[in-house]
A and B are shown apart, each in its own frame.
Chain A
Amino acid sequence: MIEGAIWRRWVFFYIPLALFLIFLLFPFYWMLITTFRPDGELYRPWRAANYTPFWTWNPTLDHIKYLFRETMFATWLWNTMFIATASTIISLICGVLAGYALARLNFPFAGSLGTGIFITYLVPQTLLFIPLSEIIRNYKLGDTPWSLILTYPTFLIPFCTWLMMGYFKAVPKELEECARIDGASRWQAMLYIIIPVAIPGILSAGIFAFTLSWNEFIYALVFLSSPEQKTVPVGVVSELIRGDVFFWGPLMAGALLGSIPVAIAYSFFVEHYVSGLTGSVKG
C-alpha cells in the first residue's frame, strides 16, 4: 500500500485505478445498455433534451428476439463453438507431442526446429490470407467449417508448443527415468508419467487457444460465404449491416451474446488463462 496520508492513497491509487476500470469496461456497459434499449430511445440524437445515455426506463428484449428469429445467430454460435473446440483439440494434441519432443528428446536439428516454430508464432494471419484462400478453394474446403478447423491450428500450435516446452522442461528428468527403469517404454513414460504432470499447462494452453480461435476474424471472413456456415463475428458483420444501414440494437445484442460463451469459459479458468498468457510471452 502507498505510505503516507490518505489523500495520497486516493490520488496515486484509487482514482487512477478507477479511471482505468472505467476506460476498459465502459464499452461493455454500452453494449449491455444498448441491447435492452428500445429503438425509440436508441435513435435519439445526443443533443436531444431527453437523451439519457446511462440508463433506460423501458428495457426491451426486442433486439435479442430479432437476433434469434430473423438471423441465424444460434447457428453462428454453434459453428463458432464447434470450430473453436475442434481446432483447440487438434492444436493441443500437436502442441503437446511437439513440445515433449523439443523439450525432452535429443535429435538433430532440435534447436533450429524450435526456433522455426517460434518464428511461425510471429507470422500474423493477415500476411497469408490471400494465397491461403486460393489453397482452401483448391482443396475444396471453401465454405466449410474444416477450412477454419485446419487453418486455425497454424497460429495455435506454435504457442501451444512453446508453452508446453516450458512445462515439460520443469518436470524433473528422474520421474521419467524411474518409469523407464520399471520397464515403461518411452512412449508409455510420456503418456502416463509426464503428460499427467503437465495437465495445468495443457489447461492453460487450451483455454488460451480457445479464446484465440473464438476471436479470429479474417480467415473466417475470407473462407466462409454462406450465412449458415458463418461464425459469430463474421455473421454479425455481414448480416446485421445492410449497405450503410446498421441495425445497432441487434448488433449490440449479437456482440453481447457472442461474447458471453468465451467470457464464461474464461471466468472458469482465469488463473490458467493468465499463466498461459504470461507463459506464452516468457517462453
Chain B
Amino acid sequence: MAVAASTSTPQRVIVPKAKWRPLENERNLAWLLLLPTMVLLGLFIAYPFMRGLLLSVTDTRVGVPGEFVGLDNFRRLASDPIFHAVVWNTCWYTFVTTIFKLALGLWLALLLNRSFRFKAFTRAFILLPFIIPTVLSTFAWKWMFDPTFSVLNWMLYQTGLIRGAINWLGDGDLAMLSIIIVNIWRGVPFFAISLLAGLQTISPDLNEAAAIDGARPWQRFWYITWPLLLPVTMVVMLFSVIQTFADFQIVYVMTGGGPANATHLFATYAYQLGVGTGLLSQGAAVSLAMFPILLLIVIIQLLYIRRVEVR
C-alpha cells in the first residue's frame, strides 16, 4: 500500500486531482503507521493480560488444562502466610531503596552539576551499573557477599568494624539488607543522570541572584533548586518505583527468595509457583495481584505530577 502510494506520485508527473491517494488522508495514514505497533502490543500485552486474568480463575497446572474455580486462587493467597510476607517484603524493599536512591542520586547529581576535569568521563563511568546486564553484575555482588570468601567481610574486619564473619545471605534481615544495597547500587546512576539533566535546565541566574541577596547554599537548594526540580523528580520516582516493585533479577540471583522466604518479592514468588512448581494459575494470580497496587501508584503519582506542573 505504501509502495503503491509513493510510486503513484512521482514528482515529475503532474498528478491529476481526482487520482485516488488514500494516504493523503491524515486519518488513513495515521492508522497505517500505528498498525504494526498496535498489532505487537495487542498480541503480546493486551492478549496475555486477558489470558492472565482467565488463567487466574482456573486451576491450571503445567500440562493439565484447568477448570473454572472462581476466586479460589486469590482466596488462597489471602490466607497464605508466604504471600503476606511477599507483600510486606515488596513494600519495604521499594520504600527503602527509593528513599536512598533519591537521596544519593540527588547528591551525586549536584556533585556532577559542577564543572571539573574529566567530567564527561566520570559521567559515562557512573552509568555503568545501569548499562551492564543486572544479572551479570548481581553475580559480582553475590560473590562479594559470599560468607567464606567475602571481600566485604575482609574490609570490615580490617577496619575493625566486625569481629567475626557475617553470613550476609544466610540471615533473613541481612539478606534483605544485601538485596537493598544491590538495588540502590543499580538505581543511583539512573536517578543521578536524570536529575542532572533536570538541574541543567535550571538557569544559574536564579541561584546567582539569590546568592547576591545573601541566601546560604542550603537555602538556595531548598527554595530554588528543589522546587524547580520537583517535576523531573516525580517522573523519575514513578519509573523507579514501578521497576523496583516488580523487580525480579536481583532477588533471583542473590537469594532466590530465601532464606526461608525472607526476601521473596511478587515476581520471584510468582516465578517459583508458576514455573518452579508448575502451578500456572496460582503464579498468574500472584503476578496479577501486583496490578492494582501498580495502578494505584501510577494514578497517585500522575495526579501529583499534574498538580506540581500546574503550580
Where the two chains meet, the residues of A that have a C-beta atom closer than 8 Å to any C-beta of B are 1-2, 13, 16-17, 20-21, 23-25, 27-28, 30-31, 34, 42-47, 51, 53, 90, 93-95, 97-98, 100-102, 105-108, 110, 113, 117, 119-120, 122-135, 150-151, 153-154, 157-158, 161, 182-188, 191, 211, 214-215, 217-218, 222, 232-233, 236-237, 246, 248, 251-252, 254-255, 258-259, 262-263, 266-267, 270, 273-274, 277-278, 281-283
A-B contact pairs, 14 of them (CB 8 A): A2-B114, A24-B126, A24-B185, A27-B140, A98-B33, A107-B26, A126-B248, A127-B288, A128-B48, A150-B40, A187-B23, A214-B133, A251-B139, A282-B235
Cross-chain contact A93 with B36 (CB below 8 angstroms)? yes
Residues 14-49 of chain B, each 1 if its beta carbon lies under 8 Å from chain A, else 0: 010000010110110111011011001101110111
Query: Distance in Å from the Cβ of B86 to the closest Cβ of chain A?
Result: 13
Closest chain B residue, CB of each to CB of A121: B239
Cross-chain contact B47 with A135 (CB below 8 angstroms)? yes
**CB neighbours of B49 from chain A (8 A):** 127-128, 131
Interface of A, secondary structure class, is helix
A266 to B129, CA, bound (A): 12
Cross-chain contact B132 with A105 (CB below 8 angstroms)? no
**CB neighbours of B30 from chain A (8 A):** 101, 105, 107, 110
Cross-chain contact A154 with B141 (CB below 8 angstroms)? no
**CB neighbours of B290 from chain A (8 A):** 124, 126-127
Residues 190-204 of chain B, each 1 if its beta carbon lies under 8 Å from chain A, else 0: 100110010000000
Query: Distance in Å from the Cβ of A5 to the closest Cβ of chain B?
Result: 14
Where the two chains meet, the residues of B that have a C-beta atom closer than 8 Å to any C-beta of A are 2, 5-6, 9, 11, 15, 21, 23-24, 26-27, 29-31, 33-34, 36-37, 40-41, 43-45, 47-49, 51-52, 55, 104, 107-108, 111, 114-116, 120, 122-129, 131-137, 139-141, 143-144, 148-151, 153-155, 157, 165, 185, 188-190, 193-194, 197, 232, 235-236, 238-239, 242-243, 245-249, 252-253, 266-267, 270-271, 274-275, 280, 283-284, 287-288, 290-291, 294, 298
A117 to B45, CA, bound (A): 11
Cross-chain contact A128 with B114 (CB below 8 angstroms)? no
**CB neighbours of A233 from chain B (8 A):** 133, 135-136
A151 to B11, CA, bound (A): 40
**CB neighbours of A42 from chain B (8 A):** 149
Query: Distance in Å from the Cβ of A190 to the closest Cβ of chain B?
Result: 8
Cross-chain contact B154 with A128 (CB below 8 angstroms)? no
Cross-chain contact A105 with B44 (CB below 8 angstroms)? no
